[in-house]
Structures are given as C-alpha cells and as structure tokens.
Chain A
Amino acid sequence: MDENPGLSEEYRMASPWPLFVALGLPIAEVGILFGLVPLAVGGLVLFCGAIAGILREAEYAASGWRALAALSLVIAGGGLALLYADGATESDLVVRAYSMVGAGVLMFVGGVGGELFARDAEPAI
C-alpha cells in the first residue's frame, strides 16, 4: 500500500468505536441466548457504550453520556419485556431478563454519573 495521500485522503479517517460495536453485539447475543450473565451484561455495556461513542463522534448526540443513558432505557425496557414474557412461556427467561435490566441500570448510572462528573474533563464548548 502506497503511504502517500491521494485525492480522497485529505480528511480524518479513523474512529475507535466501530470495532467495539461489532465486538459488543456478538458477546451480548451469546450471553443472552445462553443465559451467561457476565457476557450478557458486559456485551451490552460494550455495545451501547460504543454506539454512544459513535453518536457523539458523529455529532448526532451532544453528549456521549446522555446517549448512553438513553440507550440504557431501551435495554432495560427490553429486559422488562422479557420478564413479562417469562410468565407466558415455559422457558426460563428470568436470568436473561435480569441481566438486561441489570445492564440497563449499570449504563444508566454510568451515563448519569458521567454526565455529572466527567463532563468538565472534556474541552469546553
């Protein structure tokens, strides 16, 4: 590969987040499908965290922390839906439901905490 700039190479072309979106999704999928709590929670945190990072980087969200908190509500909502579905089926969905709710709570705390405490570490607007 020629290391010299060509025509379309004159703006910044790197982002750390896509790799972790792509890692978080399968880890979360495996964790939720097989009811492995650490993988489910960790994968969801990685997945949503990286999405929040992308949203901030692409300036779709003013703050990555707030984006994370918003995503946490979706995940917790999904967990609650699973909890509701658990009553309707013979399958055991409780562990999966709680790991999603748990991941949601973790991310919400992280998002709100980050918004309150970490904001000033970033360059002022």
Chain B
Amino acid sequence: MEITGQLLLTVLMGAFLLGVAAFLARVEEWRSYTPLGAGGGAVGESGYGHAEKPAGLIRWFTTVDHKDIGLLYGAYATIAFVVGGLMVMLMRAELTTPATDVLGSATFYNSLLTSHGITMLFLFGTPIIAAFANYLVPLIIGADDMAFPRINAIAFWLLPPAALLIWAGFFPLPDVLPAQTAWTMYAPLSAGVGNGTQANVGVDLMLLGLHLSGVSATMGAINFIATIFTERAEEVSWANLDIFSWTILTQSGLILFAFPLLGSALVMLLLDRNFGTTFFAVEGGGPILWQHLFWFFGHPEVYILVLPPMGIISYVLPRFAGRKLFGFKFVVYSTLAIGVLSFGVWAHHMFSTGIDPRLRASFMAVSLAIAIPSAVKTFNWITTMWNGKIRLTTPMLFCIGFVSNFVIGGVTGVFLASIPVDLVLHDTYYVVGHFHYIVMGAITFAGMAGIYYWFPLVTGRWYQRSLAKAHFWLWMIGTNITFFAMVLLGYGGMPRRYATYLPQFATLHQVATLGAFMLFVGGIIWIYNVFVSWMEGARVESGDPWRLEATNLNTAEWDWFDTKRETSLAATDGGEDVQTDGGQESQRDS
C-alpha cells in the first residue's frame, strides 16, 4: 500500500514535471520570434495591443508587469474575502442559537473560526494592500515598474499554494483535518500534544501555508522598499513623496522585521510537532515563548494591515474634501511613529498570562502612547474635511465611514491597553468587537474606498453609483450593528471563540448575526457591481473622471491615465468605441 502510494506520487510528479518542461519549451518558442531584453524597445509593429505580452491565459501566468500583478493580487484577495466571508456567515448562523443546532459540531465551528481569521488577515488583508501598492506605487512615483519585477511575480504566485495549504483541512482528503488552533496558534494546543486532534497533518499543512504567505509578504516588502528608494522619478523627492507611498514604505519596513520572525517561529513549531524538539514544550522553552514570538510578529501585523489603508484614506479623502491633506508632515511622522512603537507593545496581548507586573506596566505605557499618533491622524482627517467642499461620492463615504469606525475601534482599544480593564475584558467578545471595528470597519472600508476611487483608472469604466451607495450603507449599518453587539456581549462577560453560550447572550448574538447578514448582502452587491460594471459599465469620458483639476488636487496616476487614454485614442483613430454620453457620466458620482 505504502509502495503503491509512493509509486503513484512518483508518476504524478514525473508527469507534472514533463508538463512543465513542455510548457517551457512552448514559451521559449513563442519567445524566439519576439525580441527579449531588459529595457529593449519591443513595441509591436501594429502599434497597439500588448506586443510585449503573450496573449490569453498565458499572459496572466507569465506576467511581470506591476499592473497585471496588482490585478492578480486583487482577484486573489477578492476570492479569499468571499471564502472567509462565507466561513463567518456559517459561524454567525451557528451563533443564532445557544447550542450547536445549526452546524451540529463545535469542532467544525472551531475549524471555521481558525480559518476565517487566517484567511482574512493573510489571504485577504495583506494581498489587497499589495494589489493597491503594486498597481499604484510605480505609477504615483513615476517608476517604470517595480525594482524586481520577477520577484514581484514570485511573491504573488506563492499565495495560491499558500491558500490551498491553509484550506487543505477542508478538502475531502483522507486523514487530513482542519486546524482548530485559532489564528494565534497557541502552544501547547498547536504543538499537537495531548489527546486532541491537533497533531493532525492538516495543522502542519496550515502552518506551511502560513509560512509561504510570510515568504511572499517579505519578498513583496523588499521589492517595495527597493522601488520607493531607487525607482522614483527625478521630480519625486522625499519631501514630496505622496502619503500612500509613505505608508507602503513604513509597512514594508514592518514586514521586513515581523514576517521573518513569524516564519522562524512557525518552523520551530513544525519542528516541535514533527521532529521532537521542545521549543514550546513545558520542559523546553515553554508555551509562553510562543506567545512572545507570535505577538512580536502579531502586533506589528496589525499595523502592517492598517497603515496602508490609512494611507489610502489620507490620499483619497482630501480629493473629495476639496482641500489638501491637513498637516501632511505630521501624518507622515505619525505613520513612522506608529511603525516604531508597534514593536514595543506586543505583551499587551499577554497581560493575563502572569508575566512580570513591571514588564506589564511598561507595555501598557507604550500601548497607550500609540493612541497619540493614531489620534494625530484622526484629527488631521477631520480637520481636512472641516470647512471643505465635501463631495459625498462612494469613495468619500467609505473614507468617512473609515474615520467613524476607526474612532470606535481605536477608543475601545485604548481601554484594552489599560491592564486593569484588560484583565476583566481579556478573551471576551469585547476584544472581538474592538478588532473587527478596525479590520472590517476601518481596513476593509479603506480598501473599498480605494476600489471605488481607482475603479475608473483600472477599468476605464464607471461602477453603478446607486449600487455602490447601497453597498456602503448596508456595510456601515451592518458593521456597527454586528460589532457593537459584540462590544456589549463582552461587557456581559461572553467569552470569545465558543460555539455554544449561555441563553442570556442569545439576543445580542442574534442582533450580531442580523448585522452580519447585512454585510453579506452588501458584499454580494459589491461583487455584482464590480463584475458587471467592469464588463459593461459606462465608459469614462475624460482623463480626470473625478474632476480633481477644478480643485487643483490632481495626482500622478490620473496623469498616467490621461496619457494612456490619449495614446489609445490616437491608436484607434479617434476612438470609435468611446461612447459620447455627453458628460453626463462625469456627474454620475458627484
């Protein structure tokens, strides 16, 4: 049996490698009649079309163009968001009743909980930021491409295998169970000791997948740092570098210090699980070592996820407030301050573990201090809007929603940073409510602001305004219903991570589920709107679709868009397929 299995694997692997060789041979042939070379001008003779890229599906598999890779990241993050969203809808359905009546099994709930967290943070959050950064940073700073285009492609292509490994437990594979460790993977549960099921191969595969996503993020970060340092156009100095690139640069710095540590800790955990080491065993380094290592990565990860969305807000919000960003310099300084401070707060996740009280107090002080740069940003956004000519377009609505939700998510966080409050609220739904206000109410809202704002840039078309606004309001109300109910549940003492609960919590849980269904409906509207509008939305009529010139707030990526439009109009002899809707659509979203 064992031999047959190995034989089968050998044959499959051999066939796969032969397939790869055949594919490469074909690509080599395709390459032989198109000149190749770094920097060589290989524009096709026809004058339009992507002469520098192969056609069809192979284009997407072989592309090293930052814009294509940005789109791939975006598509990937969207799929992951849908998967993670469906997982949580199952969980919220389960939580409508105190017993496990809906899913029928608490272990399945635990698996969904683990996978939802990891999917949303590593397979949606990080990639959607990479999508924006890949597409936009080179355009904004005037670079031809990323500094290392091929590494850029490798970083993306590591992600689909990572997702497959992380989700492997849910596939119908014999003897592979999904991980139930929660996203924090605390030892000793995650080390697979004891009589539970967590010594299972499914957990190893999940850890490997996470490791791969970390490798991918690190490669991406190195690339962004190199790009922003070395590939800027001459007129882009440090003094006038835009706020979005600043946040990407800071985020990349954080990734550079945080993710390799996660990778090492994961390897140590894998060694504990498979090769008998004792890094996190009681007789070795101890389970608390895992918490230190994990949170030394895990807390900067929070800022890795939130800084670029803050950059999007700082970039987009002024365009529709009719004013320049208030206190630009201080927004940059606060970004850098958050980046530095983020490495000094990790033990606030461990206040209740019995660590030295003097250590605890110092971590409390630094954690509270992070409120200062965060508030600097918040007040600067509010001040930017103050007395501005505000245009409530969909991106602007999402920006304002971001600020509103960030205030609630941030203030609930300040309370948690205080040791006495934390000791009461630790491991309750208050924490879940707090961080979902940030990850859903702030980060995802900023992502949506970016998607709607740059939709015309990427697709050359308009989204449907009424659907987009329905999306916003469903999400704004749904987010606040769901996660404020969680804050209240936490005050009541409802512990997090449980599939079952006492009957007194039922009403608030049902309210939270109602909010989650609003988010679900809003999500469906968003997906529909993006797909349909991309295919057949009204075409953008001008190089300045948001009419930024009127307020002197135009930015480089729209200049690029304008030039691209003109090039393509020239190439198609005046542009037959550009419809003339008589400027009507330029007012569609104003």
Contact residues of A with B, CB < 8 Å?
1-23, 25-27, 29-30, 33-34, 36-39, 41-42, 45-46, 53-54, 57-59, 89-91, 93
Identify which of A1, A13, A23, A45 contacts B459 (C-beta below 8 A).
Answer: A1
The answer to the question of B41 belonging to the interface, with a C-beta cut-off of 8 Å to chain A, is: yes
B564 touches A18 (CB 8 A): no
A4 touches B64 (CB 8 A): no
Q: What is the bound-complex CA distance between A4 and B204, given in angstroms?
A: 45
Q: A13-B145, A39-B9 are in contact. Are A4 and B63 (CB under 8 A)?
A: no
* 10 sample A-B contacts, Cβ–Cβ < 8 Å, listed by A number: A3-B49, A3-B50, A5-B568, A8-B145, A13-B63, A16-B61, A22-B160, A26-B161, A42-B13, A58-B38
Q: What is the bound-complex CA distance between A14 and B12, given in angstroms?
A: 28
Which residues in chain B, 13-52, are within 8 Å of chain A measured between CB atoms? 13-14, 16-17, 20, 23-24, 27, 34-43, 48-52
Closest Cβ of chain B: how far from A100's Cβ, in Å? 15
Interface hub of A21, A37, A90 (most chain B Cβ within 10 A): A21
Task: Name the 6 nearest CB pairs between A and B, nearest first.
Answer: A22-B157, A18-B153, A6-B564, A4-B568, A42-B13, A13-B65
B48 touches A4 (CB 8 A): yes
Q: A12-B40, A14-B62 are in contact. Are A4 and B274 (CB under 8 A)?
A: no
A19 touches B157 (CB 8 A): yes
Who on chain B is nearest to A20 by CB?
B20
A7 touches B564 (CB 8 A): yes
- Measured between beta carbons, the chain A residues less than 8 angstroms from B20 are 20, 46
Which residues in chain B, 46-80, are within 8 Å of chain A measured between CB atoms? 48-54, 59, 61-65, 68, 71
A12 touches B50 (CB 8 A): no
- Measured between beta carbons, the chain A residues less than 8 angstroms from B299 are none
A9 touches B65 (CB 8 A): yes
Q: What is the bound-complex CA distance between A26 and B65, given in angstroms?
A: 24
The answer to the question of B560 belonging to the interface, with a C-beta cut-off of 8 Å to chain A, is: yes
- Measured between beta carbons, the chain A residues less than 8 angstroms from B275 are 89, 91, 93
Who on chain A is nearest to B158 by CB?
A22
Contact residues of B with A, CB < 8 Å?
6, 9-10, 12-14, 16-17, 20, 23-24, 27, 34-43, 48-54, 59, 61-65, 68, 71, 138-139, 143-145, 149-151, 153-154, 156-158, 160-162, 165, 201, 204-205, 208-209, 211-212, 215, 270, 274-276, 458-460, 560, 563-564, 567-568, 571-572
Q: 6 extra interchain contacts, Cβ-Cβ under 8 A, other than A6-B564, A26-B161, A58-B150?
A: A4-B571, A8-B560, A22-B160, A29-B212, A33-B208, A36-B6
Q: A17-B150, A18-B150, A26-B161 are in contact. Are A38 and B145 (CB under 8 A)?
A: no
Closest Cβ of chain B: how far from A119's Cβ, in Å? 15
B64 touches A5 (CB 8 A): no
A6 touches B563 (CB 8 A): yes
B149 touches A1 (CB 8 A): no
B48 touches A54 (CB 8 A): no
- Measured between beta carbons, the chain B residues less than 8 angstroms from A45 are 17
Q: A15-B150, A19-B61, A37-B6 are in contact. Are A46 and B563 (CB under 8 A)?
A: no
B17 touches A42 (CB 8 A): yes
Q: What is the bound-complex CA distance between A26 and B204, given in angstroms?
A: 12
- Measured between beta carbons, the chain B residues less than 8 angstroms from A2 are 460, 564, 568
B208 touches A30 (CB 8 A): yes
Who on chain B is nearest to A9 by CB?
B52
- Measured between beta carbons, the chain B residues less than 8 angstroms from A37 are 6, 10
Q: What is the bound-complex CA distance between A33 and B207, given in angstroms?
A: 11
- Measured between beta carbons, the chain A residues less than 8 angstroms from B65 are 9, 13-14
Interface hub of A18, A19, A25, A37 (most chain B Cβ within 10 A): A18
B34 touches A4 (CB 8 A): no
A14 touches B564 (CB 8 A): no
B158 touches A14 (CB 8 A): no
Closest Cβ of chain A: how far from B34's Cβ, in Å? 7
Q: What is the bound-complex CA distance between A48 and B144, given in angstroms?
A: 29
Q: A22-B158, A25-B212, A33-B208 are in contact. Are A10 and B52 (CB under 8 A)?
A: yes
Interface hub of B27, B62, B63, B153 (most chain A Cβ within 10 A): B153
A12 touches B201 (CB 8 A): no
B157 touches A10 (CB 8 A): no
Q: What is the bound-complex CA distance between A19 and B39, given in angstroms?
A: 22
B150 touches A8 (CB 8 A): no
Closest Cβ of chain A: how far from B122's Cβ, in Å? 15
- Measured between beta carbons, the chain B residues less than 8 angstroms from A8 are 138-139, 143-145, 560
A12 touches B36 (CB 8 A): yes
Identify which of B14, B61, B276 contacts A42 (C-beta below 8 A).
Answer: B14
B53 touches A10 (CB 8 A): no
Who on chain B is nearest to A13 by CB?
B65
A11 touches B52 (CB 8 A): yes
